[in-house]
């Protein structure tokens, strides 16, 4: 494990330990549901991260199509695995379009037609960019797309599952925070057996917005796949850290989540992205061997 991974894990571990004592007093101190900045990030802060489903799906889709037409030397793309890859990438892309549309329509309360147009604009903009950029190095786009899509899908699935299992009540819905508060390390009541199963008021832990924001760590990892971006790595890290911190803070200010909710979501997401980055670098040859056969 690299030193920066250890430092990152230690930071979030310390944050969760601190949250064990600070969750409730911090939320009571900063709760301000009328904060314009927090409201804005609440409506739109998770959109860039969720758009990775579209971008990374297109990375894989266009890379697979280009490799089908022009495979590596002395090889050919196997029809069945290639078709599964293309179909899966198309589904991830379509899912991303739907997520953006749904979030704009429901979370941001934007008109249906405008939300649909915005989601289509994401698809068109990313599509034109990826189509042109993937012409030179489709293999790199395939790996980077795999990383982004897998990291986003698995982290969102994990956060979604924990929301139901933990069944933690959101701060802004509490009439008596002192008696209704539950610590992050103890599920309030297993959601699978609780009457609040369908209630958003009991989906505090972990934070979906923070999960989406943390997914942008993909941009910081990109230089490992595209060396020309190495000069931008430090700037990408600073921008990512500030953005993630702002989204996490906004969720606490609005009373939608506690500090531990945001820290846990970010930690889960970073874990999946770093884990898949390691697996792709070390074992992607298995995927390549499955996809291609020697002539």
The mean per-residue pLDDT over the stretch 160-184 comes to 93
**Contacts of residue 115, Cβ cutoff 8 Å, sequence gap at least 6:** 100, 101, 102, 104, 105, 108
Question: What are the pLDDT digits (tens) for 217-266?
Answer: 999 999 999 999 999 989 999 999 999 999 999 999 999 999 999 999 99
Kindly tell me if the per-residue pLDDT of 196 is higher than 70: no
Residue environment code for 57-69, b if the CB has 16+ CB neighbours within 10 A, otherwise e:
bbbbbbbbbbbbe
Regarding predicted confidence, which is higher, 192 or 241? 241
| Model pLDDT, residue 72 | 86
Is the CB of residue 35 less than 8 Å from the CB of residue 254? yes
Percent of the chain with pLDDT over 90: 83
Task: Please state, in angstroms and as integers, the Cα–Cα distance from residue 23 to each residue in 47, 158, 170, 197, 252, following that order.
Answer: 26, 22, 12, 23, 9
pLDDT given at position 191: 47
Indicate the range of 85-99, 163-177, 206-220 predicted with least confidence: 163-177
- Taking a C-beta distance cutoff of 8 angstroms, is the pair 292, 75 a contact? yes
74: left (phi over 0), alpha (psi -120 to 50) or beta: left
How many CB atoms neighbour CB 137 within 10 A? 15
- What pLDDT, in 10s, does the model give residues 269-288? 999 999 999 999 999 999 99
- Pair 46, 103: CB distance under 8 Å: yes
DSSP characters over the chain: --HHHHHHHHHHHHHHHHHHHHHHHHHHHH--TT-HHHHHHHHHTTHHHHTHHHHHHHHHHHHHHHHHHSPSTTEEE-HHHHHHHHHHHHHHHHHHHHHHHHIIIIIS---HHHHHHHHHHHHHHHHHHHHHHTTT-HHHHHHHHHHHHHHHHHHHHHHHHHHHHH-PPPGGG-SSHHHH---TTS-SS-GGGSTTTT-GGG--SS-HHHHHHHTTHHHHHGGGT-GGGGGGHHHHHHHHHHHHHHHHHHHHHTTS--HHHHHHHHHHHHHHHHHHHHHHHHHHHHHHHHHEEE-
Q: Which residues pair with 76 in a beta bridge?
A: 293
| Closest to 79 measured CA to CA, from 67, 91, 70, 68 | 68
pLDDT of residue 167: 87
Tokens in use for 118? 């915005």
Q: What pLDDT score does 73 carry?
A: 86
d(CA 6, CA 66): 38
Residue 197: band (very low, low, confident or very high) from pLDDT cuts 50, 70, 90 = low
CA–CA dist 12, 152 (Å, integer)? 19
Query: What's phi and psi for 134, nearest 5 deg?
Result: -80, 0
Here the tokens at position 247 are 């989204």
| Contact predicate 93/57, CB 8 Å | yes
**Other Cβ atoms within 10 Å of 72 Cβ, number:** 14
Say yes or no to pLDDT of 173 above 50. yes
């Amino acid at each position: 494990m690299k030193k920066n991974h250890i430092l990152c894990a230690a930071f979030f571990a310390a944050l969760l330990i601190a949250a064990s004592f600070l969750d409730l007093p911090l939320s009571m101190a900063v709760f301000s549901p009328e904060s314009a900045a927090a409201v804005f990030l609440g409506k739109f802060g998770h959109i860039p991260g969720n758009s990775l489903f579209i971008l990374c799906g297109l990375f894989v889709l266009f890379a697979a199509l280009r490799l089908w037409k022009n495979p590596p030397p002395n090889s050919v793309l196997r029809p069945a695995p290639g078709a599964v890859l293309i179909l899966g990438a198309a589904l991830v892309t379509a899912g991303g379009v739907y997520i953006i549309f749904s979030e704009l329509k429901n979370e941001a309360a934007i008109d249906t037609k405008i939300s649909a147009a915005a989601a289509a604009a994401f698809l068109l903009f990313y599509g034109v960019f990826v189509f042109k950029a993937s012409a030179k190095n489709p293999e790199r786009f395939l790996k980077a797309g795999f990383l982004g899509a897998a990291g986003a899908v698995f982290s969102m699935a994990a956060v979604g599952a924990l929301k139901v299992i933990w069944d933690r009540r959101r701060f802004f819905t509490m009439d008596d925070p002192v008696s209704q508060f539950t610590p992050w390390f103890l599920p309030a009541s297993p959601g699978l057996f609780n009457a609040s199963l369908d209630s958003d008021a009991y989906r505090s832990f972990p934070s979906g917005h923070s999960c989406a924001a943390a997914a942008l760590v993909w941009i910081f990892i990109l230089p490992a796949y595209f060396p020309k971006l190495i000069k931008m790595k430090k700037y990408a890290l600073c921008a990512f850290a500030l953005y993630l911190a702002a989204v996490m803070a906004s969720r606490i200010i609005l009373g939608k989540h506690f500090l531990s909710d945001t820290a846990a979501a970010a930690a889960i997401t970073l874990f999946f992205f770093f884990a898949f980055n390691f697996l792709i670098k070390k074992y992607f040859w298995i995927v390549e061997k499955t996809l291609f056969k020697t002539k």
